[in-house]
Amino acid sequence: MGDGIAMSAAVTLDNVTISYNRHPAVHHVSGTFEAGSLTAVAGPNGAGKSTLLKGIAGILSPDEGHISIKGATRKRIAYLPQAAELQRDFPMTVLHMIVTGYWQKTGGTGAITAAMREQASEALAAVGLRGFEKRPLSGLSAGQFQRALFARLLLQDAALMLLDEPFAAIDADTTAQLMDIILRWHQENRTVICVLHDFEQIKKYFPQCLLLARECIAWDSSAKALQPEHLLGARFFHDNWNAAPNLCERAV
């Protein structure tokens, strides 16, 4: 959807640490997601991938360091949470759910126009859910639910897209279709940051990759970032969980 070429946004991380109960989940990470870039964030479970995305989305605030976003106001950021964080049986129709994507235009009280409804139906068709407007969310499978969330993203027309494991528990056909949509966003010069686990998929479609294991292991072109020695370095990062670690004394 969108209106052709969107303004893109650059995200700069300056020595960012985000922690839970003082234990850092993202630890002294610095670097830049260039405007219009398409970056995969990879790493083992508990590596801080979701935490980093929530930090960029403004849902969590860094303990230390700074996240700056150039070229987009907070309203032009689209954030797709992990599906498990939503109530899939919420009593709402598919159409009503996806038109919340117009939030930056309508706010809490603005009207949903006929043109918006039409565009919403087109978005549903684009994600392979033609005619699902009046279906209740509880009647969708996990994959269909994820497609519906993508339709909402299409309506958001955002400059910066943050996607947290968009293909978890999704079949191959759906994944391919949703991947096409992500590539189209990239062509439209939107900045896309996507948490993923499938290294082959990353190498095939994503030019850039940030390999995270609490700290930044590698942030480079995907082929370079996913070299074997980097992956090995990322694998064993939390082998020794320490309940009472020393304070981090790293120079800022």
Footprint of another protein (CB under 8 A): 54, 57-59, 74-75, 77-79, 81, 85-87, 90-93, 96-97, 100, 103-104, 106-109, 136, 138, 162
Q: Collect all residues with Cβ–Cβ distance below 8 Å to 118 and sequence separation of at least 6.
A: none
Least separation in angstroms between residue 168's CB and another protein is: 16
Nearer to another protein, 139 or 245 (CB): 139
Angle of CA points 21, 25, 28, to nearest 5°: 110
**How would DSSP label each residue in 141-170?**
-HHHHHHHHHHHHHHH--SEEEEESTTTT-
Nearer to another protein, 145 or 219 (CB): 145
Least separation in angstroms between residue 248's CB and another protein is: 23
Least separation in angstroms between residue 233's CB and another protein is: 31
**β-strand partners of 194:** 40, 163
Which of 235, 167, 223, 168 lies closest to 199, judged by CA?
223
Pick left, alpha or beta for residue 136 (phi over 0 → left; psi -120 to 50 → alpha; otherwise beta): beta
Nearer to another protein, 86 or 176 (CB): 86
Least separation in angstroms between residue 78's CB and another protein is: 8
Nearer to another protein, 80 or 209 (CB): 80
**β-strand partners of 32:** 12
Which of 68, 65, 57 lies closest to 18, judged by CA?
65
**For the chain, how long is the longest CA-to-CA vector?**
59
Q: Which residues of 189-223 are buried (b: 16+ CB within 10 A; e: fewer)?
A: ebbbbbbbeebebbeebbebbbbbbbbbbbbeebe
For 39, which DSSP code? Answer: E
**β-strand partners of 107:** none
Nearer to another protein, 58 or 245 (CB): 58
Least separation in angstroms between residue 2's CB and another protein is: 17
Q: Collect all residues with Cβ–Cβ distance below 8 Å to 63 and sequence separation of at least 6.
A: 17, 18, 19, 24
Least separation in angstroms between residue 50's CB and another protein is: 11
Nearer to another protein, 59 or 169 (CB): 59
Least separation in angstroms between residue 71's CB and another protein is: 17
Nearer to another protein, 79 or 206 (CB): 79
